[in-house]
A and B are shown apart, each in its own frame.
Chain A
């Protein structure tokens, strides 16, 4: 379709209107984190940090135990994602092959349920088991987010793969496990990549499980950042710096892997928690 010059201007105008709230928001976040306290509370606001300062970032790590929280977040998100791949990829394969649409619907229930509703019973369970104050409850509850994402994406992916290669392997005497491991898995690598990225991001972003289950030493980054807010209501520089530290890995991952992420999100309408 050929567009008129007027239509072309209208299109660019629309795109600018749609994209600028996102772009300006993140630029303002960056600006807040790079300014000293005087500039951050100035009126009219100072938009461009001059000169930019990294003091806020140093401040965040000096005043809070952000290193521990970062390690906690890394352990929880990596374990929850790794376990979800371990359990979820075979499950996706099995459900796709057995054409078990009912099982797939069960996965959807996990998508519909509010994260909070798992927390009351699990909180009691972990208390009885004496696990509160360790990272174990966090890893286990994060499976609520990661397993459904992985299973859901992998079902779609395995359904899209042609079955002939595996059938040929079965005819040649391979077991179904061998057909899965050596034939289907290598073909499914792009799907596993998409599932891993999305499961990781939504686990990393999760706040609600950490708020209830994490103790002082087992906070994940989103919980730690929320605590910075409650204690430093007025100091905006460190607050913005802390927020940026938490979300920077996710933003970078999105920018670098945008094709995979868009494909996965379009397929599943996924969101955690």
Chain B
């Protein structure tokens, strides 16, 4: 009897009851994700220092941002850093994915070694990079001069610090792009390639006209993930430069940290968090929308 009822109503009827499974995790999410969000918005409309009164100030914190040259500078720096740290890993990551999708001896080991930078502890690798960037004793300047190039100032000069940090970011996160695109290439059908080979297409033509269009959705996913991560970059910049020299590498995330935990201006810091989050959300939604438009075409 009960068996027929269960069969007749099907698994869908159980749908609701499965919510129970998510209750503990939902409580955790409520405590560590939702509560902070609501409280951040609440703090952002108050003048909130660590001690003393916390008067309501309306949108004063937000208005302050519009005229805060330091904040505006940080936004621009973040956007430039992000653009470069998305494009370079995407190009290299697609190249790497194409290489790792072909069969060669030692592929497994090569792929694992290639993935190591993104798994390694960011603080640890940042320390080693810092030592390598040393202008007098660093190994990188030794390598540059030994092949006849002039030494670089790396992170010790305002004009080279952002490109240098982009290099670190690229070194660290190209593997993630590679893995996502590699997953895409693995799912491709083989017949277009067989037809192309019969027609005498070159390897580049096959990449340009078959592989690239077919893995485009995966490249877009990688791009969105990369944008979000690049905007959020903290560990490497904090350890290597702390936003310096001067404020030449002070991104929004670093300024946010300084405002909240060095100057203890929690109200203003919270307002920055809200604006920063909206910025991240807008950019990622814009990209997803662009993708959907491509699909419709």
Contacts and interface: CB of A to CB of B under 8 A. Distances in A.
A21 B168 CA distance: 11
Interface string A153-184: 00000000001000100110100100010000
B119 interface: yes
Give the contact-size bracket for chain B.
35 or more
A273 interface: yes
Contacts of B16: 98
B119 A90 contact: no
Given A11-B104, A112-B284, A176-B14, A94 B116 contact: no
Nearest to A117: B273
A221 to B, nearest CB: 8
A269 B17 contact: no
Interface stretch (A53-61, A62-70, A205-213): A205-213
A38 interface: no
B128 A25 contact: yes
Contact of B11 (A7, A12, A163, A242): A163
Interface string A198-239: 000100110110011000000001110110010000001001
Tell which of B35, B123, B146 has the most Cβ of chain A within 10 Å. Answer: B123
A47 to B, nearest CB: 8
A147 B25 contact: yes
Interface string B255-297: 0110011000010011001001100110010000000000000
A116 B179 contact: no
B234 A244 contact: no
Nearest to A94: B21
Contacts of B131: 32, 236, 239-240
A243 B124 contact: yes
A156 to B, nearest CB: 12
B121 A11 contact: no
Interface in A100-150: 100, 103, 106-107, 109-125, 140-141, 143-144, 147
B171 A22 contact: yes
A117 B40 contact: yes
A222 to B, nearest CB: 4
Nearest to A41: B137
B179 A262 contact: yes
A122 B24 contact: no
Contacts of B96: 18
Contacts of B146: 44
Contacts of A247: 120-121, 124-125
B137 A19 contact: no
Interface stretch (B61-69, B80-88, B106-114, B152-160): B106-114
B77 interface: no
Contacts of B31: 140
A20 B221 CA distance: 27
B110 A15 contact: yes
Contacts of B269: 120
Contact of B112 (A15, A114, A258): A258
Nearest to B134: A236
A97 to B, nearest CB: 4
A72 interface: no
Given A90-B25, A176-B20, A254-B112, 6 more contacts: A7-B203, A94-B22, A95-B21, A163-B11, A250-B119, A266-B182
11 contacts: A29-B125, A83-B28, A100-B19, A100-B22, A112-B284, A116-B257, A121-B270, A147-B28, A205-B123, A258-B108, A262-B179
